[in-house]
Amino acid sequence: MAEPRVLVLDDDPPPDLRRLAGRARVLRTDESGLAAALPEADVLLVWNFLSDAVKRAWPGDGPRPSWVHTASAGVDRLLPELAGSDTVITNARGVFDQPIAEYVTGWVLAMAKDFAGSWELQRSHRWQHRETMRVGGTRAVVVGSGPIGRAIGRTLLALGVSVELVGRTAREGDAEFGHVNGFEALDGLLPEADWVVCAAPLTPATDGLFDAKAFARMKDGAAFVNIGRGAHVVTADLVDALGTGRLRGAAVDVLREEPLGPESPLWDVPGLWISPHMSGDTLGWRRDLAEQFCDNFDHWAAGRPLLNIVDKRLGYVPAH
């Protein structure tokens, strides 16, 4: 058999795929060359996971690779276009869990302790004591019961926060959290939470989940954190909710517009903390992502079942 062809939708810096030397022919393309290169590819690695080029090239003319791996946890930039084809999608499930959990926990602590206020005061050379919030004993609702949501919940639990996970399906007997709530429980949980964290996959069921009604249900002084996708939030509704002053703040690592342009008014919304889609990207993350793909290539080349196969109907890798 000829060496299989692995096509990489590239980004800067490119992945280190030296592990595949002698076992695959690695071809690179940018967005503009993707459609033309696809018919020759056995495997597509979506390294530039912020691109929408893949869904635009599907189904397209000619054969398509039977396996697409994306170097991201979310697959919302591949679906629903690839759902109808035979192509198997795998994702980067696992790589980002702990880094994102740390990021969210850092934000919870920073908002509780008013670090931003301290930095503003330092900038103006003012020593001004304030009383801040104890995190132990507070309550969090984490929307998303996959590995990222669970890692967030686990880390908050370790700080003495009580955690309610919300997932697609309610279930009892969860070893770490006691139970997982279904989405239908969210409305009832929001008024009780000090911290509302969005860690869900973006699917039709979660698109725009955080809207004016959801923010209105949150209690005074609650804070919102989004590390899911920008489209989980109705941005104007979040801005309005922050404008009332009722919320402690909102920290968002993802936005509908990415990268956010310098002219966006969002940069200057009081109480809104923006970071550039980096919560999971700790030093070495690109190496980890490339290793994960090479591991899965080993499975594929040996005819073993692929790891992290996405359920294209659900839009994520199911737990079981």
- The separation between CA 204 and the C-alpha centre of its own chain, rounded to angstroms, equals 16
Told to check if 256 binds a copy of itself by CB under 8 A, we report no
Would you say 27 or 116 has its CB closer to a copy of itself? 116
Which of 133, 185, 307, 309 touches a copy of itself (CB under 8 A)?
133
Q: 3-class SS at 46? A: strand
308 vs 134: CA distance, rounded Å:
38
Told to check if 158 binds a copy of itself by CB under 8 A, we report yes
Is residue 44 a contact partner of residue 54, using CB atoms and an 8 Å limit? yes
Told to check if 184 binds a copy of itself by CB under 8 A, we report no
Phi then psi dihedrals of residue 60, to 5 deg:
70, -170
Would you say 121 or 301 has its CB closer to a copy of itself? 121
Per-residue contact string for residues 4-43; x = within reach of a copy of itself by CB under 8 A: ----------------------------------------
Q: Which two tokens stand for residue 278?
A: 């980096």
Q: 114-128 burial by CB neighbour count: b if 16+ within 10 A, else e? A: beeeeeeeeeeeeee
Q: 283-292 burial by CB neighbour count: b if 16+ within 10 A, else e? A: eebbebbbbb
Which of 12, 131, 172, 184 touches a copy of itself (CB under 8 A)?
131
Number of amino acids touching a copy of itself (CB under 8 A): 54
Q: 3-class SS at 309? A: strand
Q: Which two tokens stand for residue 124?
A: 């103006």
- The separation between CA 209 and the C-alpha centre of its own chain, rounded to angstroms, equals 15
- C-alpha torsion angle, residues 133, 134, 138, 142 (rounded to 10): 80
CB of 97 to a copy of itself, least distance (A): 10
Q: Measuring CA to CA, how many Å separate 160 from each of 4, 87, 137, 210, 248? A: 51, 44, 6, 26, 20
CB of 69 to a copy of itself, least distance (A): 21
Binders of a copy of itself in range 88-127 (CB under 8 A): 98-99, 102-103, 105-107, 109-110, 112-113, 115-116, 118-119, 121-123, 125-127
Residues with active-site annotation? 229, 258, 277
Told to check if 270 binds a copy of itself by CB under 8 A, we report no
Report the length, in residues, of the chain. Answer: 320
Told to check if 129 binds a copy of itself by CB under 8 A, we report yes
Told to check if 136 binds a copy of itself by CB under 8 A, we report yes
Which of 188, 212, 240, 267 touches a copy of itself (CB under 8 A)?
267
Would you say 35 or 269 has its CB closer to a copy of itself? 269
Stretch that binds a copy of itself, among 75-83, 86-94, 167-175, 267-275 (CB under 8 A): 267-275
Helix 115-123 and helix 97-112: axis angle, to 10°? 60
Residue ranges binding a copy of itself (CB under 8 A): 98-99, 102-103, 105-107, 109-110, 112-113, 115-116, 118-119, 121-123, 125-136, 155, 158-160, 258-264, 267, 273-279, 281-285
